[in-house]
């Protein structure tokens, strides 16, 4: 930390402000890369979360914007390129394979579990690097010689990778120290963004099922029969399932927000859940299994 000056500190603070202000997971990859570029100069970079392993990651050139679609099980990430040749895009399958199977830094991380910021030159000497298939097929052709990378656990069997690349000179110890200082912040914001996205999609999925398979009357009935909710609690539960907030439910039912909060707490206690989403899921599952049993 002593090697970092006031200017470095100010750039880090600006990056952290941008990072924590990103409105959604969709905005995070480009926010991370564009923000890091002001802290650590690089020619090209990537942010990749490999959950799903589908390798359907969009490519972002500097003059383009990115609006991804989050498909189930899809890999999430973006690569920002500056002077790489356009034909590099046609080589991305080979790049992915080489990165996953032959990249020295990836191999080091899989072997050691050490995801700290490291330069590729710390992992393997240039003499040894020149002997690898990765260098000769991918790195040398596309000016990926100097690299600075961090690895972060993203989910069970998944990894978040942030990689910065340039042709020359090599990244300095100061560059490495700065990225390492920012690493836990990137991890925190990324995990929070992904969890928010997951919850929102789960709620949307549940609501879609509610609309297609049930009526408000059925929701109330299952809430009373399976979870022993009172008539008023079942009524509140039906509105929770439709995504209404406590304030909205209070207006609809002519109750005070405090009274609605009291009902919600009793509902969660009776159903045995800590969150509203969990309660919606529990009631939905009870309805689904009940419907299957009725049909059988």
Q: Mean pLDDT over residues 2-24, rounded?
A: 83
Model confidence, pTM: 0.61
Q: Cα–Cα distance between 52 and 76 in angstroms, integer?
A: 9
Q: What is the mean pLDDT of residues 243-272?
A: 92
Residue 216 CA from chain centroid, whole number = 34
Beta carbons within 10 angstroms of residue 256's beta carbon: 11
Quickly state the pLDDT bin for 102 (edges 50, 70, 90).
Answer: low
**What are 209-212's contacts with CB under 8 Å, separation 24+?**
209/284, 209/288, 210/241, 210/242, 210/280, 210/284
What is the per-residue pLDDT for 214? 54
Q: Which residues contact 254 (CB under 8 A, 6 or more apart)?
A: none
Closest-CA residue to 135 (of 92, 104, 178): 104
Return mean pLDDT, the chain.
76
pLDDT at 50: 66
What CA–CA distance (Å, rounded) separates 235 from 294? 24
Plot region of 201 (φ>0 → left; ψ -120 to 50 → alpha; else → beta): alpha
pLDDT of 61: 41
Confidence tier at 142 by pLDDT (50, 70, 90): low
Query: What domains can you pick out in the chain, each with its CATH number?
Result: 6-199 (3.30.450.80), 214-295 (1.10.10.10)
Q: Which pLDDT score is estimated for 277?
A: 85
Average pLDDT over residues 249-268: 93
Rounded mean pLDDT of 253-264? 93
Return the bridge partners of 118, or none. 149
What is the structure's pLDDT at 296?
Answer: 38
Is the separation of the CB atoms in 104 and 132 below 8 Å?
A: yes
Residue 229 clears pLDDT 90, i.e. is over it? yes
Q: Measure the CA–CA gap between 66 and 118, rounded to whole angstroms.
A: 28
pLDDT at 4 over 90: no
Tens-digit pLDDT profile for residues 168-221: 889 999 999 999 999 999 999 988 887 777 777 777 776 666 665 556 677 788
More reliable by pLDDT, 102 or 21: 21
Give CA–CA dist 141/138, Å, rounded. 6
Average pLDDT (39-53) is 75
Report the range out of 13-17, 77-81, 104-108 with the highest average pLDDT: 13-17
How far is Cα of residue 150 from the mean position of the Cα atoms in its chain?
Answer: 16
pLDDT at 263: 95
> Look-up: residue for tokens 């609309």?
211
Of the candidate ranges 27-36, 164-173, 192-201, 255-264, the one whose mean pLDDT is the lowest? 192-201
Question: CB neighbours of 166 closer than 8 A, spacing ≥ 6?
Answer: 41, 42, 43, 44, 143, 146
**Average pLDDT of the residues in 158-171:** 84
- Supply the pLDDT for residue 59: 43
pLDDT band at 272 (very low <50, low <70, confident <90, very high): very high
Give the pLDDT confidence score for residue 255 in this predicted structure. Answer: 92
């Amino acid at each position: 930390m002593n090697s970092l000056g006031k200017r470095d500190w100010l750039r880090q603070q600006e990056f952290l402000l941008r990072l924590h202000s990103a409105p959604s997971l969709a905005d995070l990859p480009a926010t991370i890369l564009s923000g890091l570029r002001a802290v650590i100069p690089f020619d090209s970079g990537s942010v990749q979360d490999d959950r799903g392993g589908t390798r359907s990651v969009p490519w972002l050139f500097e003059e383009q914007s990115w609006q991804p679609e989050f498909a189930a099980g899809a890999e999430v990430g973006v690569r920002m390129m500056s002077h790489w040749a356009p034909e590099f895009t046609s080589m991305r399958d080979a790049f992915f394979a080489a990165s996953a199977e032959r990249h020295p830094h990836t191999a080091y991380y899989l072997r050691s579990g050490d995801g700290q910021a490291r330069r590729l030159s710390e992992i393997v000497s240039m003499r040894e690097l020149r002997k690898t298939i990765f260098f000769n097929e991918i790195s040398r052709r596309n000016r990926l010689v100097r690299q600075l990378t961090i690895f972060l656990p993203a989910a069970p069997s998944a990894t978040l990778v942030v990689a910065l690349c340039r042709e020359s000179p090599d990244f300095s110890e100061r560059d490495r120290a700065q990225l390492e200082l920012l690493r836990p912040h990137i991890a925190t914001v990324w995990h929070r963004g992904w969890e928010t996205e997951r919850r929102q999609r789960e709620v949307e999925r549940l609501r879609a099922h509610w609309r297609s398979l049930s009526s408000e009357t059925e929701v109330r009935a299952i809430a009373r029969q399976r979870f022993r909710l009172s008539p008023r609690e079942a009524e509140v539960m039906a509105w929770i399932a439709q995504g209404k907030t406590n304030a909205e439910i209070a207006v609809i039912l002519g109750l005070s927000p405090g009274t609605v909060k009291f009902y919600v707490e009793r509902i969660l206690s009776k159903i045995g859940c800590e969150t509203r989403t969990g309660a919606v899921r529990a009631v939905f599952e009870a309805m689904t299994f009940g419907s299957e049993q009725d049909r059988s």
